[in-house]
């Protein structure tokens, strides 16, 4: 065999990727001559897009799927009923996931930078009056854009007009009034929140001023037969408003204002607005209801007109999505260009963000009724079978009464708990809190406290529908405890506890719980099925305040002991 000598280094050089040395300066010169955009192969597109999409997709998947599985699983295992229209529900849920993904991304890259810039520049360039009216408008516009608002209207069809006429009126012919009232409430809350940031008011005092007023109005309404059925809805509206659009947008502006008024050193400056934004809508909705009932003119409930291209499926949703996003965009753009005299930076990315937000909203709305609402209603319809006769077939209850009720309440608790643990906003909040309290209040402890609070709240809310308890008594009781705990708690913990209530009710939880409650209410013959969300908001306030006090006591005890020793 002929022998051939080959230097190992030469062999390796041949096997390896071919290397070539080019001077960097020469490369830069060459690049200057060609078009800017590099040509992309298919593999490049895959490498760029796949991680980007999959991260955002799985984020929403994690929020939606466990809840949906819990609802389906409970029906399958405990009630032995299978899901009706499984494929349309599955498509609906998929649409919700993709819709939320696009929507959140669009808001993040399209609206957030604008809002931050506006919040930072406005206090220096305009006077406080302009800033306050801008805050008001921002709150109103953000509420229109909130995806969960649509769930309220979707819930309307299940309300019986005979038993609670004014509730049906508010959700039917007067639904514009309702949305305006909620939006106005949020707007007011945002401008008062800005005032608070500017003057450094304490949230504790504000809560102690506003809450008794709201509770008093609630108690008064409860005595009026016409208004009693509105209370659940009004308090639920408070929970609906503080969603994924309002909270970050308002915080972005708030942080900017705090920075320019020189109060940015306070890590709590961002907190508090969420609380106000969930209380003021309650006041606004109750007042609207009082005004409308005193006018006393009920409108006939017209079934939605079928004719006209604008009521057909794709067009109606497109119009809805545009109506939700466009006011917010217009407001921010007008302020940016007219008041601040600045251009929109990176226009193509801005336009892309806005179109993503609109497309996402569109998909979300399409999936909402088919997916989440249908699922929640089915669960609500089926769950009472655990302890009472089946409404349709008349079959005997599946379980003895006590066990059935127990199962139902456990189920409600699990939904509340599960939905909260997965909430990404809460995770972020947990980290802030750990820093604030020098590690005394652990992140995991906060998440568990909030989740347990929401769970107990959900169970209570379901129990009150099942046993026909008046919602105002539960609310009054819950908030009285919360107020009492607020008086004795530190300002930091108060901020935290009241805000955690608003953070927990996102665009997935709200439609599911609303539909569940309404389905339940229908089956057990309650006048209305609202109030679960409201109870879910009180729960965490109490549990977080309680945990905070307990931690304070523990650290104080440890200090005393170490002093003695």
Q: Which of 11, 47, 133, 488 binds another protein (CB under 8 A)?
A: 47
43 binds another protein (CB under 8 A): yes
3 binds another protein (CB under 8 A): no
Q: What is the rounded CA–CA span in Å between residue 389 and residue 411?
A: 19
3-state secondary structure of 146: coil
Longest Cα pair distance anywhere in the chain, in angstroms? 110
Q: What is the rounded CA–CA span in Å between residue 470 and residue 225?
A: 12
Q: Per-residue string for binding with another protein, 342-361, x by CB under 8 A? A: ------xx--x---------
Q: What is the rounded CA–CA span in Å between residue 289 and residue 278?
A: 17
- 17 or 561: CB nearest another protein: 17
40 binds another protein (CB under 8 A): yes
17 binds another protein (CB under 8 A): yes
29 binds another protein (CB under 8 A): no
Q: Interacting stretch for another protein, rule CB under 8 A, among 15-23, 190-198, 291-299, 492-500?
A: 15-23
- 13 or 477: CB nearest another protein: 13
48 binds another protein (CB under 8 A): yes
Q: What is the rounded CA–CA span in Å between residue 39 and residue 364?
A: 34
Q: Which of 4, 5, 37, 563 binds another protein (CB under 8 A)?
A: 37
3-state secondary structure of 224: coil
491 binds another protein (CB under 8 A): no
Q: Interacting stretch for another protein, rule CB under 8 A, among 10-18, 117-125, 289-297, 429-437?
A: 10-18
Q: Interacting stretch for another protein, rule CB under 8 A, among 38-46, 217-225, 237-245, 282-290?
A: 38-46
Structure tokens at 432: 């802030």
Under DSSP, the state recorded for 411 is H
Q: For the CB of residue 421, give the shortest distance to another protein in the complex, in Å.
A: 23
Q: What is the rounded CA–CA span in Å between residue 390 and residue 128?
A: 60
Q: What is the rounded CA–CA span in Å between residue 290 and residue 19?
A: 79
Q: For the CB of residue 111, give the shortest distance to another protein in the complex, in Å.
A: 14
Which single residue is written with the structure tokens 């949020």? 186
Q: Which of 11, 27, 29, 51 binds another protein (CB under 8 A)?
A: 51
Which single residue is written with the structure tokens 């639920």? 236
Q: What is the rounded CA–CA span in Å between residue 116 and residue 9?
A: 57
Q: Per-residue string for binding with another protein, 92-111, x by CB under 8 A? A: -----------------x--
Residues in CB range of 503: below 8 A, 6 or more apart = 242, 247, 274, 423, 425, 426, 429, 450
223 binds another protein (CB under 8 A): no
Residues in CB range of 145: below 8 A, 6 or more apart = 245, 324, 325, 327, 328, 361
Structure tokens at 398: 């599946």
Helix residue ranges, H only, 489-529:
491-503, 509-524
Q: Interacting stretch for another protein, rule CB under 8 A, among 40-48, 96-104, 385-393, 514-522?
A: 40-48
- 349 or 395: CB nearest another protein: 349
80 binds another protein (CB under 8 A): no
Report the site for another protein in 109-128 (rule: CB under 8 A).
109
Site of interaction with another protein (CB under 8 A): 12, 16-17, 19, 36-38, 40, 43-45, 47-49, 51-52, 109, 348-349, 352
């Amino acid at each position: 065999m002929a022998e051939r000598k080959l230097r190992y280094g030469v062999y390796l050089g041949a096997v390896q990727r071919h290397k070539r040395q080019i001077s960097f300066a020469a490369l830069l010169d060459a690049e200057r001559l060609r078009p800017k955009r590099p040509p992309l192969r298919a593999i490049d597109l895959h490498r760029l897009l796949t991680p980007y999409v999959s991260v955002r997709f799985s984020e929403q998947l994690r929020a939606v799927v466990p809840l949906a599985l819990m609802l389906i699983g409970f029906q399958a295992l405990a009630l032995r009923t299978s899901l009706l229209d499984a494929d349309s529900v599955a498509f609906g849920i998929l649409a919700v996931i993709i819709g939320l993904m696009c929507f959140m991304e669009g808001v993040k890259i399209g609206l957030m930078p604008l809002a931050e810039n506006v919040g930072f520049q406005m206090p220096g360039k305009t006077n406080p009056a302009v800033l306050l009216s801008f805050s008001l408008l921002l709150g109103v516009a953000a509420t229109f854009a909130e995806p969960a608002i649509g769930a309220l209207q979707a819930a309307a069809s299940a309300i019986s007009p005979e038993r609670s006429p004014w509730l049906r009126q508010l959700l039917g012919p007067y639904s514009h009034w309702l949305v305006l009232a909620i939006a106005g409430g949020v707007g007011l809350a945002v401008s008062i929140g800005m005032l608070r940031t500017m003057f450094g008011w304490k949230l504790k005092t504000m809560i102690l001023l506003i809450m008794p007023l709201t509770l008093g109005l609630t108690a008064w309404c409860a005595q009026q037969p016409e208004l009693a059925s509105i209370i659940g809805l009004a308090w639920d509206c408070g929970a609906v408003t503080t969603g994924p659009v309002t909270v970050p947008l308002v915080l972005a502006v708030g942080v900017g204002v705090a920075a320019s008024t020189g109060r940015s050193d306070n890590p709590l400056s961002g907190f508090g607005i969420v609380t106000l934004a969930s209380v003021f809508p309650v006041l606004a909705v109750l007042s609207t209801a009082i005004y409308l009932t005193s006018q006393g003119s009920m409108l006939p409930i017209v079934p939605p007109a079928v004719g006209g291209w604008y009521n057909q499926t794709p067009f109606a949703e497109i119009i809805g999505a545009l109506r939700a996003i466009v006011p917010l965009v217009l407001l921010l753009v007008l302020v940016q260009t007219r008041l601040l005299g600045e251009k929109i930076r990176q226009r193509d990315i801005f336009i892309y963000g806005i179109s993503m937000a609109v497309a996402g909203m569109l998909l979300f709305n399409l999936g909402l009724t088919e997916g989440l609402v249908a699922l929640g209603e089915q669960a609500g319809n089926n769950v009472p079978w655990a302890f009472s006769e089946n409404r349709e077939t008349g079959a005997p209850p599946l379980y003895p009464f006590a066990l059935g009720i127990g199962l139902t309440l456990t189920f409600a608790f699990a939904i509340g708990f599960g939905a909260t643990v997965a909430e990404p906003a809460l995770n972020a909040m947990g980290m802030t809190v750990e820093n604030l309290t020098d590690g005394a209040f652990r992140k995991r402890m906060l998440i568990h406290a909030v989740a347990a609070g929401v769970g107990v709240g959900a169970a209570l809310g379901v129990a009150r529908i099942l046993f026909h308890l008046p919602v105002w008594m539960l609310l009054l009781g819950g908030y009285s405890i919360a107020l009492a705990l607020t008086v004795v708690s530190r300002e930091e913990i108060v901020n935290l506890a009241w805000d955690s209530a608003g953070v927990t009710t996102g665009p997935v939880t709200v439609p599911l719980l609303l539909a569940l409650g309404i389905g339940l209410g229908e089956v057990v013959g309650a006048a209305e099925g609202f109030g679960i969300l409201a109870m879910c908001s009180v729960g965490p306030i109490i549990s977080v305040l309680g945990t905070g006090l307990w931690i304070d006591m523990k650290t104080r005890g440890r200090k005393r002991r170490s002093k003695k020793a």
